[in-house]
Structure 1
Amino acid sequence: MDNNYVESAGRAVLEMMQREWEPLSQDELEQRLDRTVEEILEANLLAKVQDQPGPIYLQLSQLVEEPQQKNQIRSTTELTTLSHVEESESQQLTDAEENAAVQYITDLLQNSNSRYNQSRMAGRARLSLSHTVLLSLTLLSKRLSYRSVSTSFHLEKGNIHRIFFSFCERVNTLEDQQIRWPTGIEAVENLPPLSSLLGKAKGLEEKGVPRVLGVLGHTRIPIRLPIGKQDVESTMPEVKRMKEAHPDSWLNLELVCNHTGRLIHCRISKGSDLDRASALRDKLKQLPEMMPPGTCLVARVGYPASAQILTPYVVGRGPRGNLYNRSLEAHFYLLDQAVADLKARFERLRYLDMGNYERAKAVVLTACILHNVFLDMGKVVNGQVEREAGTQEGEGECDEEGVRRREAIADLLYKELDSEST
């Protein structure tokens, strides 16, 4: 029992220290700590090599005593050279840089408003915006530790935290610009038909069968459980504890994507939030202009059925209901692929090792925004689709208008199938 208390106390202290380090304010104590640690490491290194032959000692002395400004401000070429130390882990970023991704994102951020400014970096290593983008994309693209990246970029670990979250803060200001609901011609251009199972798709829209504006769904992003909610004294086997994970050990990422895989809606909430797009449903009702005439969203079972959101039947309804369900299911792969691409491009989303909800949310939103940015650049990845394990979803909320529209569309599709077979 004493060991458990010691472990719990140790984790609490670690969490307190993390809360102090992650914000990375300009507290003089933090700056002095960085400086002291660097001086100790340098002194130890010099002490170890003093007995070595002259040339080796001279080289290491020069390396340690190199002016700090050289390590703080580097050309893009020098930074790229450093990243080649871990070439196998950074190849994706190298390709992105070669294809002007860094410059493209830098230009987008150039005029964005952010609470982070240069004064927050006083007394610490400074990076140009383009170097900040390069470093942050490296962290997002691969599951590298801050220590590993700090070694590659010759920056202290604490400074890596500051630079990365400053980048996320600035990218988040682009949300309204990059994750936007389509309007006007963009909203109705090249929309896929609801059913591709029928040979004669022409004329179905005039009869009342809508086209699909987007696919609604969600995915989970695992995060580290906040220290106050970790059950360190539990005797439950580890495997069972993983299966019965605390809901705050992940984030819910609610998305709507269009037929190109572009995200047009994004909502991030805690794992304990069991809501399934009710806020989006209410917004679509209040702002009917968001859904052009003859369009709809499709979503899996568990989401609310309304005049704007079509969901499958939970139980079989014979050939008529099965045809309707198959028509909807043919669209769900779009969202599955978009999620797979998002996680393949930004591997850090596989697990965010942070217990701070707001920071984790900022990182996830950054990845969603940059997903669209890379699509705009024509940079497409093909992630491996993985069906996530979860509880069996029951029927979501269904309003009367949603039930009527579902029944009417199922009838129209089945009648069209009958007319084709005769």
Structure 2
Amino acid sequence: MAVSDFVQSAGRAVLDMVEREWEPLSQGELEQRLDRAVEDILEADLVAMVQAQAQTRPPAMYVHLVQAQQDPPPVLPAEPIKPDQEDHLAQETLEEEGEEEEEEEEDTVDSHAVKHITELLQNSTSHYGRSRLAGRARISLSHTVMLSLALLSKRVSYRSVSGRFRREKGNIHRIYFSFCERVNMLQDELIRWPRDDREAGDLLCPLYALLGKAGPEETQGVPQVLGILGHTRIPIRLPVGKQNAESSTPEVKRMKKEAHPDSWLNLELVCDRRGRFLHCQISKGSETGRAALLRDRLGQQPQLMPPGSCLVARAGYPLTEHILTPYVSCVGPREGLYNKTLEAYFSILDQAVASLKARFQRLQYLDMGNYERARAVVLTACILHNVFLDIGPLLEGEVEEEEAGAVEAEGDVDEEGLRRRDAITDLLYKGLESTCA
């Protein structure tokens, strides 16, 4: 092994060790830290100067205090408070208390969400308690949830959260990833396919429903949509040894222009018509084979798909008996109607992904080069997306251009998928002709 390989290996080990205890400061936090350091230096100089002067003569402030003690000011009789003044003072007190409560509410995560997530974690099993170092202060589960949601919801450092929750930074790191570990154990319970026909019936939506141009009489035999299949990319810090140190382009811009496959996580999702995730698969950016595992799983377990149902996906995904994709060539009126029918569903997934990234802003860029830790954070956000959807409506988010997706080449095609797509295209076109007649 070359010397450079030993150096890279040692550097990677040191970086991983430092990453457990430290997270880079943002530009604003760095400026604040520098300002505080300058203030400390100036204060120390002033204190030293005052102490030097005190050794030669009493400071003027000290003389003033001694005189004030020797000649105390006369005590004036208190004026009686009028009734209208009592009301005014009471109102001022209430306003001050209200302002304090509002400030507390702004700094506190939704208590209903915290309570709901805390209850979900009560029965989960984890070595959360055993992972603490001896002597570290314990923290309640509800405060663990609040702390972790604060880190997930905003792009803030461990330092800023440690000051808010009054816990040392190293402990914040351990609490946060212990929380992610416990939430990840709920994946099978909260991100899953419908268990029975009754649950599936609440999710199924006729393929033509969102288009609104054909009635059920004219489209008998057209499948019902169980979910929308798609993906997004989550940027992460490029692992040590794979970074281009010679490039002068800023990191985030370089990731977009000179994207290394391992600087992204592929997040593959299936959501229902309400935006709830039914499937979640996270892989490295360098791993290829779009929806290959899902395709094989549905082929081996066809009972996962209710009779007469399907998933819809954009071009680039495999066209199978269970996954319908658009036409990418030779698009005439018939194929155009079919493509438009599918396109009406893609915005549902786009909005679900936008909601996920709006609620959990840390997904905008995960500043960690460890794949397993990054995967745990992304999976935690996906699980909590469903939890928050159970509590309230989908959070509005801005759909990114890349989520809308450019036209890609057609993915893998099997004979059964090709036959089913053509048959559905004919049914939709005949139904439209009957409606227009």
TM-score (norm 2): 0.76
Q: Larger Rg: 1 or 2? A: 2
Gap change, CA 1:408 and 1:379, over 3 Å in 2 = closer
Q: Structure 2 residue aligned with 1:400, among 406, 415, 432?
A: 415
Shift of 1:396: 0.3
The reply to whether residue 182 of structure 1 matches residue 173 of structure 2 is no
Cα deviation 1:61-88 (Å, max 9, x = unaligned) = xxxxxxxxxxxxxxxxxxxx9xx99969
- Is 1:129 aligned to 2:126, yes or no? no
The residue that corresponds to 2:110 in the other structure is 96
1:250 aligns with 2:247: no
Alpha-carbon spacing, 1:151–1:339, altered in 2? closer, same or farther (3 Å)? same
| Separation in 2, partners of 1:218, 1:333 | 13
Partner of 2:425: 410
Q: Residues 379 and 241 from structure 1, CA distance in 2 versus in 1: closer, same or farther, beyond 3 angstroms?
A: closer
Q: What amino acid sits opposite 2:436 in the alignment? A: S
Residue number in structure 2 paired with 1:108: 120
Amino acid at match of 2:117: I
Residue from 223, 226, 232 that aligns with 1:210: 223
3-state SS, counterpart of residue 137 of structure 1: helix
- Which blocks of at least 5 consecutive residues in structure 1 are unaligned? 25-40, 55-80
Q: Residues 349-364 of structure 1: matches in 2 within 5 Å? A: 349-364=363-378
Aligned residue number for residue 161 of structure 1: 173
- Tell me, in whole angstroms, the C-alpha distance in 1 between the residues paired with 2:418 and 2:109: 49
Rounded Cα–Cα distance in structure 2 between residues aligned with 1:169 and 1:188: 33
TM superposition shift of 1:129:
0.9
Alignment of 1:232-243 (within 5 A): 232-234=245-247, 242-243=256-257
2:159 maps to: 147
Q: Distance in 2 between matches of 1:301 and 1:379?
A: 29
- 1:213 is displaced (CA, Å) by 0.2
Structure 1 residue aligned with 2:435: 420
CA distance in 2, matches of 1:155, 1:270: 33
Shift of 1:152: 1.2
State which drifts further: 192-201 or 274-283.
192-201
- Inter-partner Cα distance in structure 1 for 2:337 and 2:400: 25
Which letter maps to 1:421? C
Distance 1:143 1:87, change over 3 A: farther
Find the residue that maps to 1:120 and give its secondary structure. coil
Write out per-residue CA displacement over residues 184-217 of structure 1, whole angstroms, 9 at most, x where no aligned residue: 2111225222123354422356x31011100000
Give distance in 1, aligned partners of 2:435 and 2:123: 56
Q: Which whole-Å deviations, capped at 9, do the CAs of 1:351-388 have from their partners, x for residues lacking one?
A: 00000000000000000000000111125311111121
The 1:121/1:108 distance shift into structure 2, 3 A limit, reads farther
CA distance in 1, matches of 2:195, 2:336: 32
- For 1:336, the equivalent position in structure 2 comes to 350
Task: Check conservation: 2:226, 2:309, Cα contact below 8 A.
Answer: yes
Shift of the 313–391 alpha-carbon distance from structure 1 to 2, 3 Å rule, reads closer
Alignment of 1:256-267 (within 5 A): 256-267=270-281
Which whole-Å CA distance do the structure 2 matches of 1:241 and 1:213 have between them?
A: 35
Structure 2 CA distance for partners of 1:417 and 1:289, relative to 1, 3 Å: same
Match of residue 234, structure 2, among 184, 202, 221: 221
SS in structure 2 at match of 1:371: helix
2:424 aligned partner, one-letter code: I
Find out whether 1:305 has 2:319 as its counterpart: yes
Q: CA deviation at 1:271?
A: 0.6
The 1:278/1:190 distance shift into structure 2, 3 A limit, reads closer
Q: Which amino acid aligns with 2:291?
A: A
Q: 1:307 to 1:233 in 2, by over 3 A?
A: same
Unmatched segments (≥5 aa) in structure 2: 22-36, 51-60, 63-96
Cα distance between partner residues in 1 of 2:231 and 2:430: 33
CA distance in 1, matches of 2:157, 2:407: 36
Paired residue for 1:19? 16
CA RMSD across the alignment: 3.1
- Change in Cα spacing, 1:391 to 1:296, as seen in structure 2 (3 Å) is closer
- Quick check: 2:20–2:170 contact (8 Å CA) kept in 1? no
Q: State the distance in 2 between where 1:241 and 1:136 align.
A: 27
Confirm or deny: 8 A CA contact 2:214 2:432 kept in the other structure.
no
What is the aligned partner in structure 1 of residue 304 from structure 2? 290
Aligned counterpart, 1:61: none
Instruction: Count matched residues.
Output: 362
Deviation at 1:22, TM superposition (A): 4.7
Q: What letter matches 1:166 in structure 2?
A: S
* SS in structure 2 at match of 1:325: helix
Identical pairs, percent:
60
Residue 285 of structure 1, CA deviation: 1.1
- Following TM superposition, by how much is the alpha carbon of 1:313 offset from its aligned partner in structure 2, in angstroms? 0.2
Give the 3 Å change call, closer, same or farther, for CA 378–204 of structure 1 in structure 2: farther
Give 2:302's aligned amino acid. P
8 A contact 2:218–2:434 mirrored in 1: no
Compared with structure 1, are the counterparts of its residues 291 and 381 closer, same or farther at alpha carbon in structure 2 (3 Å cutoff)?
same
Residue identity matched to 2:224:
R
Tell me the CA shift for residue 102 of structure 1: 0.9
